[in-house]
Amino acid sequence: MEKRKLGNSGLEVSALGLGCMGLSFAYGPALDKEQGIKLIREAYEKGITFFDTAEAYGIANEELVGEALAPFRKDVVIATKFGFKEGNSTLGLDSRPENIRAVAEESLRRLKTDVIDLLYQHRVDPNVAIEDVAGTVKELIQEGKVKHFGLSEAGAESIRKAHAVQPVTALQSEYSIWWREPELEILPTIEELGIGFVPFSPLGRGFLTGTITDKTQFDSTDFRNNLPRFNEENRKANQKLVNLLAEIASQKGATPAQIALGWLLAQKPWIVPIPGTKKSNRLAENIGGVSINLSASDIQEIDDAFAKTNVQGERYSAYMQSHVGK
């Protein structure tokens, strides 16, 4: 698979990563451990070298990633995150230096590794100066426990302040055809600073694949049940977006998911999306998106089509925004 470098850091990863959260968290029942290991190793065999997890996805998620990647640990890049009280996103934020250190030690143990390739602050903590967060990660880098520092869903001001203390290798935030907010201020800022961008939910939490309709019933444990954008009325209203994507995909002999990923990859050479999946066929489909070559006119056609539509529904509930950040 094509490789990409995250900004000016020199950290080289596959053009597409694997978001591992959904294997055991947020999207319905967890995948059986052996199936999870099999899927992660299949991703590696198909060329993916960039794997994303977090303390907040549960102990099992980091342990799964660590065990699955142990045989080829030196050939892959593992990213994980700190930043919530007791590792639980419903309990609020905690980026105190002592917590960062404690989480890093636990992550090293669970991931069965002696160094974390990329350590993100999961969300900016308004109660802890971002300079102190960056300084703590800088110390972990100096101690050889971490290689690179990242931020997630941070604003431009926080990015600049953190970067001045410890260079930020990557920003991970939501970005897709149907969530374009990073284009306003974030992408220009990180391009200026030489920071890579790792879009999560690049397929709109599954909606842009065309497999979700207003009739879809999510498992009771699926967090999309609590997202305004995924209520039945909004799914019905947003279906025209997927129909547009499907039309373009049919012209290219591709799937809607592949067009959505190809669109992201075409934005900047330092963008590395991390779609997640529990299914082998979806993994192969997503990887196929790397081979989708969209011309400038293709991109313009997609952007023009989407500019004429309004996405209905907030991406997070008010409760989630207050606990997790927007």
Residue 326 scores a pLDDT above 50: no
**Is 194 within 8 Å of 159 (Cβ atoms)?**
no
Mean pLDDT score across all residues of the chain: 94
Residue 323 scores a pLDDT above 60: no
How many domains is the chain built from? 1
316 is catalytic: no
Q: What is the mean pLDDT of residues 105-133?
A: 98
Angle among Cα 77, 83, 87 to the nearest 5 degrees reads 90
Query: Where residue 312 falls among pLDDT bands split at 50, 70, 90?
Result: confident
Q: What is the pLDDT of residue 317?
A: 61
Residue 64 scores a pLDDT above 70: yes
**Is 256 within 8 Å of 210 (Cβ atoms)?**
yes
Residue 269 scores a pLDDT above 60: yes
Half-sphere exposure of 129 (CA within 13 A, CB side): 7
CATH code, domain with 312: 3.20.20.100
Q: How many CB atoms lie within 10 A of CB 246?
A: 15
Distances (CA, A) of 321 to 10, 272, 278, 314: 34, 25, 27, 10
Q: Write phi, then psi, for 139 (nearest 5 degrees).
A: -65, -40
Question: What span, in angstroms and rounded, lies between the C-alpha atoms of 18 and 31?
Answer: 15
Token pair, residue 326, equals 């927007």
Residue 45 scores a pLDDT above 50: yes
Structural domain boundaries, residue 11: 3-324
**Three-class DSSP labels, the chain:** CCEEECCCCCCEEECCCEECHHHCCCCCCCCCHHHHHHHHHHHHHCCCCEEECCHHHCHHHHHHHHHHHHHHHHHCEEEEEECEHHHCHHHCECCCHHHHHHHHHHHHHHCCCCCEEEEEECCCCCCCCHHHHHHHHHHHHHCCCEEEEEEECCCHHHHHHHHHHCCEEEEEEECECCECHHHCCHHHHHHHHCCEEEEECCCHHHHHHCCCCCCCCCCCCCHHHHCHHHCHHHHHHHHHHHHHHHHHHHHHCCCHHHHHHHHHHHHCCCECCCCCCCCHHHHHHHHHHHHCCCCHHHHHHHHHHHHCCCCCCCCCCHHHHHHHCC
Find the length of the chain.
Answer: 326
Which residue has 């019933």 as its token pair?
Answer: 217
User: In this predicted structure, which of 127-131, 161-165, 208-212 has the lowest mean pLDDT?
Assistant: 208-212
Catalytic residue among 27, 44, 57, 316: 57
